[in-house]
Structure 1
Amino acid sequence: MDSDGDGIPNHLDIDADNDGIPDNLEAQTTTGYKAPSKVDLNKNGLDDAYENGTVLGLTPTNTDGTDNPDYLDTDSDNDGVADIIEAFDKNKDGIPDLFISGNDADHDGLDDSFEGANTMDGFVVNNEFKTGSRDTNNTDGTDEPDYRDIDDDNDGVYTKYELDPNSDGNGPDDTDKDGIPDYLDTDDDGDGISTKSEGADPNGDGNPNDAVDGNANGIPDYLEVGNYNLTLPADEIEVFSAVSPNGDGDNDVLVLGRIYEFPENTVQIYNRWGILVYETVGYGSHNNFFRGYSEGRVTISKQEKLPTGTYFYVIKYKSNGFDKRKAGYIYLQN
């Protein structure tokens, strides 16, 4: 079998999938990697590093648990980014620093672009790689290199979801246009607040389908500038005092900046006669926002559009176990 079609059968090819990473690395786990010893005392043809009593050879690692083991898989972690890009993109621009040249001077199956200083080194099966991780790109510095890491930048959003967050089919996206694609960028919108801090994935499953959208305009906060006030104290909520539910995407709901950091919250809104017209628990979660409608208190019918005017709000929330309260006025243009 010749998986990569380079004319060299797999059993004589030290890079059978032609991704630039030697099979010797990809066949082993990252943390348990053993380099060849170049010793074969019993002359059975198997390097002694891979003999342990009756256990002979390696059991190939399959990171994604699907299709082929890593040494035959051009996307070992199944995150949508090819191994050749993730392993050899030191400048984090989403483009591999090394490209397949089509040349293989020593006919070992490893393209010359990925050889060490000597392209005629013959069958050095690990291409002089000394560890299972440090020789290939590891953006977030965790145990696994990028080609085996489902969250390359460790921002809480899996790589496969950061490739094309706007779903226009033109990924990988670079939301803030800083030259670093979102899947390698710890601050996707470039506003100075990390993606993780802006509530990109509150339930921690790696999928940002529950991302915080503080102004309910359809753009999650981690992809939109202006939803987080860095000058506020750590336990303070920012109230945007104007509400205009006209569908233009600006202030269509009562925006309470950072309230997602305080999920134990209650929001109450009163009209100028002191009548409670809106009350909710867990504001901002599950699309729970004030949109200028009454919740049915006293003479105000539920879901009745409230009149334009000034309203009084009271926000109660817990911060580090302490009860906090914030009150003030908002203006509703309905």
Structure 2
Amino acid sequence: MDDDSDNDLVFDNNEGNDFDFDGVPDWAYTGTDTDGDGLDDGYEGSDVDDGFDVNDEIDDPANDLPDTDGTEDVNYRDLDDDGDGLDTPDEDVDNDGDPTNDDSDGDGTPDYLDPTDDTPPEETETVLVNQMVTPNGDGKNDFLFIKGVENAKNNSMKIFNRWGAAVYEGVNYNNINNVFNGKSKVRRTISAQEVLPSGVYFYIFEYQTPKGRVVDSNYLYISE
């Protein structure tokens, strides 16, 4: 009577009938029971009118039903189907409540059934904060440049001085018209038009990726 025995967000109907491990059940409910044995024709196998045959062609459920990692239990009762240390609900990359549609490496096997679902290095979307700002108008490092900022969705940047006081706070940083150019935007003791003193500062850059929320924090340097 339980549609999801292991409470992993993937219905038993899927996990018990996905023999090619593509996240889609191979058999589907039809609403018809030709031989009246209580088993829907969609699960009767090759013969839909074979009388009262318990479980039909599944004679040994422990070995006949899909078991991706071959350990613990068959998939519909295994919280970590692929045995990679991540429970199936945690492999729902887009957080839409359905792990079956998340395939990080695009190989046709959903992450929750793929123990090696890392994105290939050549496809990795790198986000890297340049840790030097020289706001002297020479066209080089005049603002804090973030490589791959277009891949940092819903981002926020905060910069603090050595005493922990915030000197810059912004969202949706874009390297174009929303940048940190060495001038304070939040400190009332320094004019918004005045360049901050040279020295060491600390930044916290948060952003969203398909893998989840990332918090990048490190030092940066302001120099004339």
Q: TM-score range by the shorter chain?
A: 0.5 to 0.7
Shift of residue 98, structure 1, vs aligned partner: 1.0
Task: Check 1:188–1:308 CA distance in 2 against 1; reply closer, same or farther (3 A cut).
Answer: farther
Shift of residue 170, structure 1, vs aligned partner: 7.0
Which letter does structure 2 place at the counterpart of 1:81?
Answer: V
Residue 85 in 1 paired to residue 14 in 2? yes
Instruction: Name 2:160's counterpart in structure 1.
Output: none
Instruction: Name 2:52's counterpart in structure 1.
Output: 123
Residue 248 in 1 paired to residue 163 in 2? no
CA distance in 1, matches of 2:110, 2:68: 12
CA distance in 2, matches of 1:79, 1:128: 26
User: Which gives a bigger RCO, structure 1 or 2 (Cα 8 Å, sep 6+)?
Assistant: 2
Instruction: Name 1:225's counterpart in structure 2.
Output: 124
Shift of residue 109, structure 1, vs aligned partner: 1.2
In structure 2, stretches of 5+ residues that fail to align are 134-143, 150-199, 202-214
Residues 186-211 of structure 1: per-residue CA shift (max 9 Å, x gap): 2223327xxxxxxxxxxxxxxxxxxx
Task: Check 1:288–1:105 CA distance in 2 against 1; reply closer, same or farther (3 A cut).
Answer: closer
Residue 184 in 1 paired to residue 113 in 2? yes
Contact 1:133 1:143 in 2 (8 A): no
Residues 198-256 of structure 1: per-residue CA shift (max 9 Å, x gap): xxxxxxxxxxxxxxxxxxxxxxxxxx8378xxxxxxxxxxxx9x6458473659xxxxx
**Counterpart mapping for 1:177-326 below 5 A:** 177-191=106-120, 225=124, 243=131, 246=144, 248=146, 250=148, 289-292=217-220, 306-308=221-223
Shift of residue 289, structure 1, vs aligned partner: 4.6
Task: Check 1:141–1:169 CA distance in 2 against 1; reply closer, same or farther (3 A cut).
Answer: closer
1:140 to 29, 47, 69: 69
Instruction: Name 2:33's counterpart in structure 1.
Output: 104
How many pairs does the alignment contain?
149
Shift of residue 177, structure 1, vs aligned partner: 2.3
Q: Compute the TM-score of the two structures, normalised by the length of structure 2.
A: 0.54
Q: Compute the TM-score of the two structures, normalised by the length of structure 1.
A: 0.38
CA RMSD of aligned residues (A): 3.4
Task: Check 1:79–1:307 CA distance in 2 against 1; reply closer, same or farther (3 A cut).
Answer: same
2:94 to 157, 166, 181: 166
Which letter does structure 2 place at the counterpart of 1:102?
Answer: G
Shift of residue 96, structure 1, vs aligned partner: 0.8
Shift of residue 122, structure 1, vs aligned partner: 2.2
Which letter does structure 2 place at the counterpart of 1:145?
Answer: V
CA distance in 2, matches of 1:144, 1:129: 16
Shift of residue 137, structure 1, vs aligned partner: 0.9
Shift of residue 79, structure 1, vs aligned partner: 0.6
CA distance in 2, matches of 1:123, 1:189: 46
Shift of residue 159, structure 1, vs aligned partner: 0.4
Residues 154-200 of structure 1: per-residue CA shift (max 9 Å, x gap): 1111101212x2335675322222222111122223327xxxxxxxx
Contact 2:132 2:222 in 1 (8 A): no
Contact 2:9 2:98 in 1 (8 A): no
Task: Check 1:105–1:168 CA distance in 2 against 1; reply closer, same or farther (3 A cut).
Answer: closer
Contact 1:90 1:137 in 2 (8 A): yes
CA distance in 2, matches of 1:87, 1:111: 14
Shift of residue 148, structure 1, vs aligned partner: 0.6
CA distance in 2, matches of 1:147, 1:247: 48
Contact 1:104 1:110 in 2 (8 A): yes
Contact 1:154 1:186 in 2 (8 A): yes
